[in-house]
Structure 1
């Protein structure tokens, strides 16, 4: 599951699509008129279909949950119009100014993987047909030069589009990783805690969600007595124990200085309380060794459950926080689940 924070990383593509759709409809109407006058009905009909689909896509663009599918069909129609237009003119050299648009739009709107497949599906057949027809011409030298120029320009556009999209995806991936992770512990940070909770709620395979709020006891005392370096090691050790006690599909967050949150999908309150107790025992039995000294650290845990303790995220969080406060007030180093 991808957190909502990064789930809609195609917003910039929606913006590009808005401009592209207007240009497509305006250019399409012009070309339809021209091709009807020239009696080129096959191309005019394909262009009518492309314009009609573009209009429908423009109406659905901002609300559809299947943007990639709509975009794929849209690009296939546009690229088909380009190739059919070149074929109708018997692959006249001037028509090939449209060919470099194929890789540019494919990578910009579909990403690296699908963009590569889409480009190959339209560019390679187009170049192959152009090569086959041009090679039959008598003026071999002149047409050979034209073929080389066209092929190189299209392949250069393809290569540059691929490199650009590869670098863009790598940068975005690194920015996402940096933004969503706590640099000290490697756990998720609080930034998308609520969005993950909301996604889990709508999953039909998740009838309930347990939430643990975990707080390191007397953490300020650890920092004051042993230094912030020791405090950092205690935080890392706590995160390590959290990973060891939870499942792969559980979500771990560092939500404050010494506070952590754990979301346990499809785990009943009783099981979650047992897991929290196991975590508490493991931490209390595992002093953190720093420069030859053992630092004892314990935790207090507050537990809540969706939907038993409320329907909304802030309700569940508030219940867990209240129970965590009670665990602290009752002497720390304990789990409060009710």
Structure 2
């Protein structure tokens, strides 16, 4: 890595607003340490090769491969070739929960697995560049079109060969110091991913990592810049937003299915985070033109747009 630019994640290693969708087509940078972000990450290797150090495994990807993984667990691009270019997106969970993937895939991704496919072609080279251009155009119609096309492209993996790495779930290796805390936070995220639709609290979550609740809350907040309750609420709310986009959605039923104990609690949090009621969210979605894939989310979903260089270095300093 001598003489190679290095990206230094911010304190705690977590980046970006959970509701913010970012697309990129970039020259990647080696990361000095793992980082986190509460979105699902899509990477397409347009040229060269990269190596990732994930929460429970390592993986190398070459030209033409796509990977999909949950960014809420620590991950690090720790090596790459000098000619590497990659493209993709950080997808808010509302988009992830809309994806029609094979039944086992979403659960495995939330547990820390990486989906990898080499079933790509020349159209992917063109499309990922175009989706990034549309997302940064400042035109909300183009930006939404890019999102819809990307989601359809990801759903296509169910028709083609793909791998989940590791092949079977396994625990992260035990490490010392700050890495030990990272491992503990990862175990808490694992537990939350498996149980966020159930009635769980910080005591349950801390117990999954064999920690005292106060210590668990402290290291979780330091690592993710969110409290444990905020993180659980984020997953529940994102899941609820995806359910509300269905034709047969009922607000009370969605609240219950999303892990909220009452309709009033659901409405209060929804207004706080989304700036509107669940009913208004549904009404806004109904008033928008319908893309081929079904209902689209409201424009308030946080899509990043604006001018940018064709090949900026990534990640951004955020």
TM-score, L = length of structure 1: 0.22
- Pick 1 or 2: higher relative contact order, CA cutoff 8 A, min separation 6: 2
Structure with the higher strand share, 1 or 2: 2
Structure with max Cα Rg: 1
